[in-house]
Amino acid sequence: MVEVDGVSMLFNRSKEQVDNLKEYLVRVFQRKLFFEEFWALRDISFNIKRGESIGIVGLNGSGKSTLLKIIARVMKPTNGEVRVFGSVAPLIELGAGFDMDLSARENIFLNGAVLGLNRSEMRRRFDSIMDFSELWDFVDVPIKNFSSGMIARLGFAIATSSRPDILIVDEILGVGDFKFQKKCEDRISEIIGTGATVIFVSHSIEQVLDLCQRAVWIKNGRIVMMGSAKEVCGAYNNS
Ligand X SMILES: Nc1ncnc2c1ncn2[C@@H]1O[C@H](COP(=O)(O)OP(=O)(O)OP(=O)(O)O)[C@@H](O)[C@H]1O
CA distance 201 to 92: 10
55 sits near ligand X (criterion: CB under 6 A): no
Q: Binding ligand X by CB under 6 A: which of 1, 4, 42, 65?
A: 65
| β-bridge partners, 41 | 9
Residue type, 103: S
How many CB atoms within 10 Å of residue 60?
6
Q: Are 183 and 132 spatial neighbours (Cβ–Cβ below 8 Å)?
A: yes
202 sits near ligand X (criterion: CB under 6 A): no
207 sits near ligand X (criterion: CB under 6 A): no
Q: Are 195 and 164 spatial neighbours (Cβ–Cβ below 8 Å)?
A: no
Q: Binding ligand X by CB under 6 A: which of 58, 112, 155, 164?
A: 58
90 sits near ligand X (criterion: CB under 6 A): no
HEC secondary structure over 45-58: EEEECCCCEEEEEC
174 sits near ligand X (criterion: CB under 6 A): no
**Which stretch in 27-35, 62-70, 185-193, 229-237 sits in contact with ligand X by CB under 6 A?**
62-70
Residue 225 Cβ vs ligand X, minimum distance, rounded to whole Å: 15
* Residues that bind ligand X in the complex, under the rule CB under 6 A: 11, 13, 40, 58, 60-66
